[in-house]
Amino acid sequence: MQPLTEEERKRAFAATRKPEAIRKQRLPVRYHVEDFEVADRPRRFLEAFAAILKHTNYRLALDHYMRVTAKCSRCSVKCQVYVATGDTNDIPCHRSELLLSVYRRHFTVSGVLRGRILGDPGLTDERIQEMADSFYNCTACRRCHFECPMGIDHALITHLGRYILSEIGIVPRALAVSVREQLTGATGNTSAVPVAALKDGLEFLSEEMQEDKGIDIPFPIDQDGAEYLFLPAVSDFLMEGETLMGNAAVFRATGDKWTIGTGYFDGINYGLFYSDHILEQVLQKIRAEAERLQVSKILIGECGHASRSAKFFYPTFCGGKEALPVVNIMEYTHRAWKEGRLKLKPDAISETVTYHDPCNLARSGWVVEQPRELLKAFCTNYVEMTPNRQDNICCGGGGGTVSMDELRPYRTLVGGRMKADQIRATGAKYCVAPCANCKKQLRELVEEHAIDCQIVGLHDLLYKAIIFDSSVPGE
């Protein structure tokens, strides 16, 4: 990988906000932040921290991490941000230490005593500024977790740090505005898509497919008692028509009953990036819609964080063992294909195709082989990028940073630098990135680095390979 040139460094770290705003908020960060109460910040940070510790299980993790952390920096080799910047502040265990040291000083007996004896003033406003900057340089890809000899999950600490910061008003504006629309706005989704526009878009896609394949491929809306409630990243309804066409075509082929609910149709959950409180509120919206339509499963579209937030936290907040099962669309499609209910033309795509593992799907080993088996079933020229699967490299726009347009030069020059080399090395015509977040970031990345590769979703390509029976299945 080429080191950052002086010019690139300047662009990546250029100030994006007006100096007055930075001065007024006392926050030298590059992402935009809505105005918030600045006075007495350290005290309010500690109060928020204490409240979170009281009502959650984070204390268990922090107690353990605080004792075992060796600060050995082995994680540095895994961090694509540190490898690009070479700045020691970007080493994951340094980032974690920013918060762990606050915990040690203020929330342990020995730390409080030592503070009194040594006259340590404790948390300062400067430390809060440092955390606000550092925690959003991380893409929360969790790759460093594998290299840590003590098993510290640095992304969990980053998440907690962002959670506490959000409680005192420090949240990237792009995330805050979207979440406000989702939870309290008229449209109830992050991209502010009204139901009329949703229906218009879906009708248009059905017409396109009718024209293309000569058969009726519907998007069922508000079907009571359907098996699957479908929740893609809502941005798919604006940006990824091709992916949605693939999704609908799979259901047309299998004949399973699915539906999009007009009460709630957004899989996006930015709570995963910065607030457990919001994570829960968004999941409760999914639960309400699932109950309204009496569905039996929740199906998340091609989106990494939407899938992970629902798969792993829906049971936590919405009924435990009784909670509805959560399925990712690629799991669904893969199973249908395995069962022989979905037939694919083996030579539908002859161009070189590679696969990018979205961190939120692959890091835990959840959706790794399914998309590969599907791709190999209809692409004659499939190549892997390295490293891959659980050890994949992040697109560079994870952890919510992709929504912040002001960070674009940082994301493409620093965060995605390793990824750009990786994609270029495959020489692929198509890079399949089954995640709304990764798609946006990778498109900006290939544009910045002038790589001749088209970023698509898995279902975009699969759509070209589906063989439809002449009879309507299930009837």
Partner 1 sequence: MPAFEVNGKTYNVDEDGFLEEPGVWTKEVATDFAGCEGVTELTENHWKVINYLRNYYLQFGIAPMIRKLCKETGFKLNEIYAMFPSGPAKGACKLAGLPKPTGCV
Binding region for partner 1 (CB under 8 A): 17-18, 32, 173-174, 177-178, 181, 189-194, 196-197, 200-201, 204-205, 208, 233-235, 237-239, 241-242, 266, 268, 303, 402-403, 405-406, 436-437, 440
Nearer to partner 1, 85 or 166 (CB): 166
Cα(470)–Cα(442) distance, rounded to whole angstroms? 38
Q: 457 φ, ψ to 5°? A: -90, 165
Shortest Cβ 337–partner 1 spacing (Å): 26
Nearer to partner 1, 209 or 374 (CB): 209
CB-CB contact of 125 with 39 (8 Å): no
Nearer to partner 1, 233 or 344 (CB): 233
Cα(22)–Cα(280) distance, rounded to whole angstroms? 31
Cα(268)–Cα(331) distance, rounded to whole angstroms? 18
Burial class (CB in 10 A: 0-12, 13-18, 19+), 224: exposed
Task: Give strand pairing partners of 455.
Answer: 431
Shortest Cβ 199–partner 1 spacing (Å): 10
Shortest Cβ 216–partner 1 spacing (Å): 19
Shortest Cβ 460–partner 1 spacing (Å): 11
Nearer to partner 1, 197 or 368 (CB): 197
From residue 160, alpha-carbon distances to 98, 131, 277, 322 in Å are 12, 11, 12, 28
Nearer to partner 1, 104 or 356 (CB): 356
Shortest Cβ 457–partner 1 spacing (Å): 13
For the chain, the 3-state helix, strand and coil shares in percent, each to the nearest 5, are 55, 10, 35
Residue 338: half-sphere exposure toward Cβ, Cα within 13 Å: 11
Cα(305)–Cα(441) distance, rounded to whole angstroms? 14
Shortest Cβ 236–partner 1 spacing (Å): 9
Nearer to partner 1, 254 or 403 (CB): 403
